[in-house]
Amino acid sequence: MSCCAPGAEMALDVTSAASALPSSDEVKLASRSLGGSRQTDLSVPAVHCGGCIQAIEAALTKLENVETARVNLSTKRVSVRWHGEDVPPFFAVLSRLGYRAHLFDPEAHERDKTLSELIRAVAVAGFAAGNIMLLSVSVWSGAEGATRDLFHWISALIAIPALAFAGGIYFRSAANALRHGRMNMDVPIAVGVSLAYAMSLYETINHGEHAYFDASVSLLFFLLIGRTLDHVMRERARTAVNGLSRLAARGSVVLREDGTREYVPAAELMPGMRLLIAAGERVPVDGDILNGNSDLDCSIVSGESAPKAVGAGTHVQAGTLNLTGPLTMQATAAAKDSFLAEMVRLMEAAEGGRSRYRRIADRVSALYAPVVHLAAFATFLGWMAVSGDWHRAMTIAIAVLIITCPCALGLAVPIVQVVAARRLFEAGVMVKDGSAMERLAAIDTAVFDKTGTLTFGQPRLVNASAIDPTMLAMAADIAAHSRHPFSKAIAVHGGFSGQPKLDSVREEPGFGVEALAGGDTWRLGRRGWAGWKARTGGEGKIGGYGGTVLSRNGSIVACFAFEDATRPDARTAIRQLKQAGVSVDMLSGDTEKACGEVADTLEIENFVPALLPSGKVEWIESLTRAGHEVLMVGDGLNDTPALRAAHVSIAPATAADIGRKAADFVFLRESLLAVPLAIDVSRKAGRLIRQNIAIAIVYNAFAVPIAILGHVTPLIAAIAMSASSLIVIANAMRLRGATRMAPPQLGMRQRRADVAGMVQP
């Protein structure tokens, strides 16, 4: 079974393709901004195998200003990251390689033409193979002379349309590759089938006793069955992505400044537009509700089936369903930058990752074409030298040509990554990179942030009645300028009008918010930072244990105490991690007392309080120096450096945008059981990848020598090649079953340094 694309997707002539290329402005509009660079997604229907992936990526990365190029085999998409104002000539390069490309349209859901063509080809090949086989039975039963020649000629005539239609899938792909100076996995198949037919035709013309028309057509029949099953398996693995894409609204009614209403396609919705969302419609883009009250089905975001009540000021995300009442909202992101679009990209990125195993498989697949042709040619020469029978030598060479196809090896890694990504998606975990699963499987230490990760990050102010109303109102005004969970808890107590107006406000990440009002400097945040004139005075001095205070000109005027509920199943998740041999640490910027209470509740022995963002990074780096592979789980803006410093990282969907972008995994639901599940699936995926690679190696180690020794016919070679690929696919599908936490592949390494002594909070 080849993993090449059908010939119906063959590239157009370079000249005609070039005339339809999009302009530079179109490419820029279709690209996503990544800060200092852009990412352009191209749809390349003819991308088909490991050799094609290597050719495309190598050619595109050589272009000036191109940073990376990644090919996703399942979605047949190429993602190119580039910088500068001049658009690199993507389309011209792909055309020279023989690939037709166009800008990817996320709203295009075409019928699966590939599957229809494959099914028709299988039917034609099967019908022809059955009839030729009936004629062959007569020859095998003793037909001789003119009768035998007649049956051979009839078989030759039946085989012609079968090879032309069903075999055209391979012939067109092989011809396109050779015409553009490339090799792919369809070339040896096309050569093998053609040689089998040509050799049989030669025997028929010369009244030979044996012809192999049945073998050539049956060979094609079994190859097509294998390819069809491969295509179906890949489509099943992509069902989650396709279903997720269909949740995107096609457009929305926009309320213009003059009061008029206009329906605008989702792709044209821009931040700042006011949208009208009727009951029963899906939210097309991320935004904030301006007017109206309703219930939303947010199961796509949180996994919870219970409707969520929303009103003015609530932030809503694309893909959620408006259930009960009309809403007016203001878009805060374009459709391509929405939460739903990000989830789709995460799902599609999972297979595209270049893990160590996949890089090995890609290199082997790239060497396949020259090696297999040399092996077949050497086999032919060897048998000619030994036997002098060119007929037998050619038959054995054809069998070698077919049986050595490394499709099993080419599928070993990507099929597992696709199935693993879907398994995690069904559990509410999004994977940003296939290589992240390999890294996650190796971790032995998990480091958790406290607020917003182990807890909901929605603390409640518990000592509001003990705080002077004027000071509380001033703190609420300052807190309204921050997204920190403690700030949100304080901001709800605003409304008192006796405080001075704020002149300026700025936030110091990890410390707090500073404001100027009436000639005074106000600070809301950490005790040590805000109350620089009051270094003394321990916790509990002014109501509660909280480390958050309000100060005026350096003197503390109010202290705040909070309560925050832990995430459901957090204790169970921590226990499962420990059972799997993963040590658990908690790092937080909160006070020792607050951290201690959460640590006791969740049975976490190791925790470090009062850490700045740089302190979390130092702690993780010290663990790494001690020989540990560290997983960081965090959500806040101040966790971003730690997420990047860790070997692998996970963030909740409620995390800040920059935190989600820094993380390798994003979990959508409230339960922390997503963390041990992700580790379990990653470890199991690693085992299946190693098993699949072993299957592919063992298959070739046994099959190739047997074929070279002449014990395999071309038909048996086709069956064996397809069977090896199907075994690899079936093995990968085992991952869809229930998973349980398993011990790590390598035993827990003993701590080689006292980490606590290496980093001081």
User: Which residues are designated catalytic?
Assistant: 449
* C-alpha radius of gyration, the chain, whole number: 32
Contact 208, 315 (CB under 8 A): no
Residue-wise DSSP of 598-617? HHHHHT--EEE-S--HHHHH
CA distance 578 to 213: 62
Query: What 3 state SS string does 55-66 have?
Result: HHHHHHHCCCCE
The DSSP output letter for 687 is H
* 104: amino acid identity, one letter: F
**Helices H, strands E: what count in the chain?**
28, 28
CA distance 182 to 243: 36
The DSSP output letter for 310 is E
The phi and psi torsions of 124 (rounded to 5 degrees) equal: -65, -45
Contact 679, 443 (CB under 8 A): yes
Specify the length of the chain in residues.
761
Diameter over CA atoms, the chain: 114
What are 524's two structure tokens? 């809301």
Helix (H, G, I), strand (E, B) or coil at 381: helix
Q: How many CA atoms lie within 13 A of 326 on its CB side?
A: 6
What are 673's two structure tokens? 């059981």
Instruction: Let me know the angle formed at the C-alpha of 541 by 538 and 546, rounded to the nearest 5 degrees.
Output: 80
Q: Of 226, 357, 199, 303, whose CA–CA distance to 567 is shortest?
A: 303
